[in-house]
Amino acid sequence: MIGRIGALLKRDLARLMLGGRGGGAVLPVLFFLSVAMLYPFAVGPDAPLLARTGGGVIWVAALLAAILPLDRLVEPDIDMGLFDQWALRGISEELVIAVRVLAHWLSFGPPLMLAALPASALLGLNGNTLRIVETGLLAGTPGLAALGVTVAALTAGLRGGAALSGLLVIPMAVPILIFGAGSLGMGGESGLALTGAASLVLLAIAPFAGGAAVRAARG
Amino acid sequence: MQEASIAVKDLACRRGDRILFRGLTLRLNQGEALQIAGSNGIGKSSLLRIVAGLAPAFSGSVEVCGSIGLIDERPALDPMQPLGKALAFWQRIDGAADNELARLGLSGLLDVPVRYLSTGQKKRAALARLIGQKARVWLLDEPLNGLDVHAVELTERLVAEHCAEGGIALVASHQPFDLPGMGRLALAEHAA
């Protein structure tokens, strides 16, 4: 069983990190950095304003970057018949989805946390704000990954699934965004704790909701 | 050797709001093979998916004993990966086994990305995946589609060897499938 999980994780990582045509992990990072780069151009070089709002911009950019790979998370594997082959071998949809959440997080969470370093320099954030942003991303991105995979499984096979999944993720990611970006204000620790709590809830639900969605799509 | 059998009792299949067939009963024991014949859209693939447990039966019961291997129109190999790596993924899932690549004429294609393979080559690659799985029950959905004469004979021989080792094969095909001692079920007799 461990060998099978390892094989699944290795395949998922190869697809999501290096990802051939999809651009892999590079595309969300470049998107994230370009938002952080464009923001000072748009609002002007007012350093105090940038420093005050920069943390929130990083959060919004991270949320939008997490949406980019959604359409290739689940649907191609259903189309190729891989989920059917796994089911025949007794590998449950829940297990595959759980592994995919981990792989999806590894492919965008840590890269975004690294990219937040140059982004914070572009926005002129101070060390303390950067520390809170990084901790918040660490607590929040696993939830975004779980949410992304769940929604990708729910919208697989639907017409316009890619656009629809983006629209579905955004409202459901609001709690993570509010608590994560809110932790930059007063009483930050409780915001971080609530971000982590929202992430854990999403992580706990994702394998079951995603697995049920894949089985329902099989019809 | 692990037991293998298929028992289908009074099975009916519904697709959308149409009943495709009803009252289907069949039994396959170790070493037996059966061809399901019938025109397009009569429910051959649906029957295989119900036996595989991938689709629900409208009524009736299906009992399968033994591990199931399925070949359908999708090879279930990553199109972006070279064939060798795509097959290696299934080897890690199924445990290392001989895929009989040389016999299937795939040895020279291991560096070629799956998306560049022809229909027949993909079919042979799916056969290699199936052989590596070491399943007792083979469900083959149109296994001869896109294969040349030589590969058709090879597929028939592989199924014969599988049955000789005590395996079961359920083959859905509208083409003749030449296998000594193979039963034949005309699905049209059960059409609703």
| Spacing of C-alpha B155 from chain mean position | 11
Q: How far is A219 from chain B (nearest CA, A)?
A: 7
Can you list the residues of chain B whose pLDDT is less than 70?
1
* Chain B CB contacts of A91 below 8 Å: 93
The answer to whether the CB atoms of B93 and A81 lie below 8 A apart is: no
What average pLDDT does the segment A58-62 reach?
A: 92
Phi, psi dihedral angles at B30 (to 5 degrees) = -50, 135
pLDDT of residue A158: 84
Is the pLDDT at A162 greater than 90, yes or no? Answer: no
Domains and CATH numbers, chain B: 5-190 (3.40.50.300)
**B68–A80 C-beta distance less than 8 A:** no
Task: Say if the Cβ atoms of A87 and B79 lie within 8 Å.
Answer: no
ipTM, interface predicted TM-score of the complex: 0.91
Q: Which residues contact B100 (CB under 8 A, 6 or more apart)?
A: B128, B131, B158
Residue among A20, A21, A81 whose CB faces B74 most closely? A81
CA distance A76 to chain B (A): 9
Indicate whether A15 pLDDT > 90: no
Inter-residue contact B91 to B61 (CB < 8 Å): no
Least confident of A24-28, A205-209, B12-16, B67-71: A24-28
Residues of chain A contacting B69 with CB distance shorter than 8 Å: 88
Mean pLDDT, to the nearest integer, of A34-61?
90
pLDDT level of residue A19 (50, 70, 90 thresholds):
low
Please judge whether A89 and B74 are an interchain contact, meaning their C-beta atoms are less than 8 angstroms apart: no
Structure confidence at residue A186 (pLDDT): 67
